[in-house]
Structure formats: structure tokens, C-alpha cells
Amino acid sequence: MKIAIIGLGMRISGVWRHLHATAGGRMTLVGFADPAPAVGLGELAKAGLAPGQGFTDHRTMLAALKPDAVLIGSPNHVHLEHIRDALAAGCRVFTEKPVVISPEDTWAAAELIRDAGPDRVQVGLVLRSSPFFRAVSAHIGRIGRLVSMEANEHLPPAHGGFLMRDWRRKRAWSGSHILEKCCHDIDLYQALCGRVSKAASFGGRSIFTPENARLAGDGRYREWWTGWQGTDEVFASDGDILDHQVAILETERGVRISFHANNHAADRQRRWLICGVEGLIEGDFANPVLRVRQVYQEPEGIDLGTGTAHHYGADEAMGRDLATCWLDGVPFPVPAKAALEAGLACMAIDQAQRTGTIVDASVWMRTLDGILP
Ligand SMILES: NC(=O)c1ccc[n+]([C@@H]2O[C@H](COP(=O)([O-])OP(=O)(O)OC[C@H]3O[C@@H](n4cnc5c(N)ncnc54)[C@H](O)[C@@H]3O)[C@@H](O)[C@H]2O)c1
């Protein structure tokens, strides 16, 4: 298979590395399109992988190289254009999440996916491939009908500082923090508990503000790279994303969820507590033991064997999943429609936070069903 990349940044260079590790000689990276590919070129060089022929414009690249499949790793606001042009060129598409950043673009993406065939588009919601999620999915049937869930995603300060410097700081490019980062989490909750039907949310920027600039110093908050449209400002960033947000959600199946995002926590956490009528499941992606307890029974520890590998062992697993999908026709763990649903749920949370109202997300979900049943 001839593979090409659009948006050769940090993420997609890693996706290709893991895909290549499984596919070996059955896939070749023939080239890439990126106006400023500095980070990704460096990462491929470190891994000893050849980038193929470089282009600044993706349409010129598609016409010249005629790839069989394209990996899209550009910033979120240009994904739709890249997906459209890659499908029009007859390519299979892997796109990074979130697929798009607005409801209107979601309808356009749904039409493209419907017309191409949903199995032609894979989305990098990598945590679907994680040992943690696979273990929860395997044991969830033991706790009976799901009732309620609390969950969080807490990022360490260096990661939060990166978000204020990177292109992710601007909603025009990323969508929002919840959409850009937590769409992974919301996708998994929806996979287990049903689609979000109602959302309420509060949030703000209380950490990365000028009065907290005393926290900076000695290269703090700058450990991570600076990429496309990056800036050096952390506490006086021109970004408009929030640095903490809470949401309460109700799903179509009547499960109630509370979610807490914080981008400057002393401890990194991605913690879940799911309660069913007959028991609970508790764990953290970064913790190798999942706890399952049925009512009136002793707790049981499930060893995930993941340690603290990057993305909790999910990156390697997704490389294998994508290789077997494209080479052997095995279904990919992320249905393309579910990726759009995750985006819509995040957009509903953001709308609830912006307007101070409870948002009825089911209206958007039904519109999506009308396009992509
Ligand atoms: N699945 C995951 O866990 C995960 C993790 C990180 C990032 N991502 C996603 O990957 C994507 C890229 O993130 P990143 O961290 O690699 O960013 P990055 O800044 O490292 O890379 C983005 C690249 O896109 C290029 N680019 C900008 N405009 C372009 C255009 N019009 N055409 C082609 N290329 C263009 C930039 O020059 C840059 O090289 C985002 O959608 C992000 O949400 C996913």
C-alpha cells in the first residue's frame, strides 16, 4: 500500500511509526504535504524512517503520488478539507480526532463518509485500542444495568502549559479544549453508556492567567515542543480555550455522568468510577490494575499489564488495529459515526458552558442519524 501524510506533525509521525512497525514492507510512505513539517520530519528521522517526497500543498501531493491511503494529522479546522480531497482522490482515510469542529462541518463530514462508505474512514480515537478500555468493555456486563459514572481528565502542568502555547489554544483551530482533547473520553463514555442527550457545563480560565505568572521559571511549562502557530506565552497567552471545565451529562439510556477536566493538576489522572445496579468498576488509565466489585462481594483486581506507556499502551495497539484493518479487512475499533457523535457531544458541552443552559444534544444526534443512519 502506498501511504501519504497530510499534516506531518508530532502525532502523525508517531501513528506512522506504529503502523509501520506492524505493516513492515507491506506499506510504504511515499510522501507528505505540509507547509512547515519541522516537528514531524525530525521525529521520522529519529525513528530512522524515510518521509518520501515532500509537498506544501495536499492537492498537488495527491495528484502527483496517487497514494492508496492517507494519514491526516493537520490541525482540526482543516481536517474536513483534507478528508474531502483525499476521498475524492480515491484514497482510504485515517484522520486524527476530532474529525471536525462544528455541527455544520459534522453534517458535511457525515455526507462524505456516507457516500464513500463508512469503512473507508478510520478515526484516531486511540483510547478505543487501549488495554484499559478493552478490559472495562470485557467486564462491564458483570455490574448490571449502568446507572451513573464519574470521570476526569487531569493534565500535569507541563501539558497544560503546552496547550496555552500550541495551536490548540485557539478555538478557531482546535474547536475547544473539551473537543480537542476530551473527545477521547466522551467517546468512550458514549460507547459504554449511550449517546449524550443532555449536557450542562461550567468552566473558565483561572490558572493560565497573568496573576499566576509567578509559577513560571526555569523552563517550566516549556518542556514540550512548539509547533505550528506556536507562541511562547503561557500565562498571558492569546488563546481562548478554557483551562478547567466540569460537565454533567445524561445519556439516551438514562445513565448520568459527571466529568471534570483540569489542565494544571499536580497529579495526572484519567480516572473512572462506573456504577451499575449489581456492582462497580473503578480504575485509572495510568494504573495497571482495574478494580471490579459486585455488590456484597470482595473486590477483584484485573491486571491490565500496561504500565505507564505513552497513551497507556494504546498507540502500539492502534498501529496494529489500523494495519489489520487496511491490509486484512478487520474492522477498526472506532466506527466513523461514533467519532462524529463524540464531537457533537463535546460541542453540546461547550454550548452549555457558553450559554449557561442545559443543551438538548439529541437534536444534533437525530440530525446526524438522518444523514448517516
Ligand atoms: N489521537 C491522539 O491521541 C492525538 C494526540 C495528539 C494529537 N492528535 C491530533 O493530531 C492532529 C495533529 O496534532 P499534532 O499534535 O501532531 O500537531 P502538530 O502541530 O505537531 O502538527 C500539525 C502539522 O500540520 C501542519 N499543517 C498546518 N496546516 C496545514 C495544512 N493546511 N495542510 C497540511 N498540513 C498543515 C503543521 O505544519 C504541522 O506540521 C490534531 O488533529 C490533534 O487533535 C491526536
* CA of residue 325 to ligand 1 center, whole Å: 23
Mutate to test the pocket of ligand 1, among 5, 8, 10, 11 (most ligand atoms within 8 A of CB): 11
Going through 62-145 in order, the beta strands assigned E by DSSP cover: 69-72, 92-95, 121-123
Nearest CA to ligand 1 atom 31: 78
Q: How many CB atoms lie within 10 A of CB 10?
A: 16
Mean pLDDT within 31-53: 97
For residue 8, the ligand 1 atom closest to its alpha carbon is: 39
Domains of the chain: 2-96 (3.40.50.720), 127-371 (3.30.360.10)
DSSP secondary structure of 328-348: H-PPPSS-HHHHHHHHHHHHH
Residue-level pLDDT at 311:
80
Nearest CA to ligand 1 atom 7: 11
Mean pLDDT within 48-71: 98
Mutate to test the pocket of ligand 1, among 10, 18, 80, 182 (most ligand atoms within 8 A of CB): 10
Residue-level pLDDT at 313:
85
Residue-level pLDDT at 226:
86
* CA of residue 272 to ligand 1 center, whole Å: 28
* CA of residue 10 to ligand 1 center, whole Å: 7
* CA of residue 372 to ligand 1 center, whole Å: 26
Ligand 1 contacts (CB < 6 A) are 6-12, 33-37, 39-40, 58, 73-76, 78, 96-97, 124, 126, 167, 180, 227-228, 311
DSSP secondary structure of 171-187: HHHHS-HHHHTTHHHHH
Asked, as a colleague might, if the bond just before 98 is cis with ω within 30 of 0, I would say yes
Nearest CA to ligand 1 atom 21: 9
* CA of residue 74 to ligand 1 center, whole Å: 4
* DSSP at 210: G
For residue 78, the ligand 1 atom closest to its alpha carbon is: 31
For residue 125, the ligand 1 atom closest to its alpha carbon is: 1
For residue 38, the ligand 1 atom closest to its alpha carbon is: 39
Among 103, 69, 66, smallest CA distance to 83 is for 69
Percent of the chain's residues with pLDDT above 70: 99
Mutate to test the pocket of ligand 1, among 96, 155, 318 (most ligand atoms within 8 A of CB): 96
Is residue 18 very low, low, confident or very high in pLDDT (cuts 50, 70, 90)? Answer: very high
Is residue 306 very low, low, confident or very high in pLDDT (cuts 50, 70, 90)? Answer: low
For residue 74, the ligand 1 atom closest to its alpha carbon is: 24
Mutate to test the pocket of ligand 1, among 74, 130, 153, 177 (most ligand atoms within 8 A of CB): 74
For residue 174, the ligand 1 atom closest to its alpha carbon is: 43
C-alpha cell at 340: 462524529
- Per-residue pLDDT of 107-119, as tens digits, reads 999 999 999 999 9
CA–CA separation, 145 and 280 (whole Å) = 11
Predicted TM-score (pTM) above 0.75: yes
- Per-residue pLDDT of 196-234, as tens digits, reads 999 999 999 999 999 999 999 888 999 998 899 999 999
CA–CA separation, 200 and 179 (whole Å) = 15
Looking at per-residue pLDDT, the higher value among 140 and 286 belongs to: 140
CA–CA separation, 99 and 110 (whole Å) = 10
- Per-residue pLDDT of 320-348, as tens digits, reads 999 999 999 999 999 999 999 999 999 99
